[in-house]
A and B are shown apart, each in its own frame.
Chain A
Amino acid sequence: GIQVEQSPPDLILQEGANSTLRCNFSDSVNNLQWFHQNPWGQLINLFYIPSGTKQNGRLSATTVATERYSLLYISSSQTTDSGVYFCAVVGGNKLVFGAGTILRVKS
């Protein structure tokens, strides 16, 4: 089945710093989503981005489907950005999740 790899596995930032999270996938996809799982466990949709670039406030994402990767950019990070960021793609008929990137933003 399709493989989804995320990097880095862990990231510690000082508040105000920028970061880039990466998601590689092993096969062509027609759906890619980025989620943020907050410290309370809720999975929050960030982007639905099978290709191209989208921006939402301090967050933006780019997916290059032909090269099988997606990037999530976080600018001017805040402590509320802490949590786990997941990339998920549709493989076959299932949404397959990466292992996530654990982000800690320190004040």
Chain B
Amino acid sequence: DAGVIQSPRHEVTEMGQEVTLRCKPISGHNSLFWYRQTMMRGLELLIYFNNNVPIDDSGMPEDRFSAKMPNASFSTLKIQPSEPRDSAVYFCASNPSGRANEQFFGPGTRLTVL
């Protein structure tokens, strides 16, 4: 079975550019989570969806960040405009139901904003 799929795996962009990260959850999973990992803050939850609906976006750092889940098999995390402090690894995870069950992580997207 394919796990969580993320693209691109690496992204290098210049400050001010728009960045779009993509995620395909495991088929049949109905919850999807976006995390960010930095040296300073570790792993932190940005937003999560249940049945394609955003449930908690309190971790989204600011209005420059937005996330969508147009259908059960696809989600995007967009940063516009990007800033150097957004440089991090962004992970997507999914789980079969609810919020307490086991989460499975994608390989991550390493974002560098110059």
Hey, which bits of chain A sit against chain B, CB under 8 A?
30-31, 33, 35, 41-43, 45, 48, 86, 88, 90, 93-95, 97, 99-100
Contacts and interface: CB of A to CB of B under 8 A. Distances in A.
Given A93-B56, A97-B42, A99-B42, A41 B89 contact: yes
A6 to B, nearest CB: 11
Contact of B102 (A41, A43, A45, A100): A45
B110 A41 contact: yes
Contacts of B101: 31, 48
B42 A100 contact: yes
A94 B100 contact: no
Given A41-B110, A42-B108, A94-B56, A30 B43 contact: no
A94 B56 CA distance: 9
Given A31-B100, A90-B100, A95 B33 contact: yes
Interface of B: 33, 42-45, 48, 55-56, 59, 89, 91, 99-105, 107-108, 110
Contact of B100 (A30, A45, A97, A99): A30
A94 B95 CA distance: 13
A49 to B, nearest CB: 10
Contacts of B108: 41-43
A18 B48 CA distance: 37
B79 to A, nearest CB: 19
13 contacts: A31-B102, A33-B103, A42-B105, A42-B107, A42-B108, A43-B91, A43-B108, A45-B105, A90-B100, A93-B55, A94-B56, A94-B99, A99-B42
A42 B93 CA distance: 12
B99 A93 contact: yes
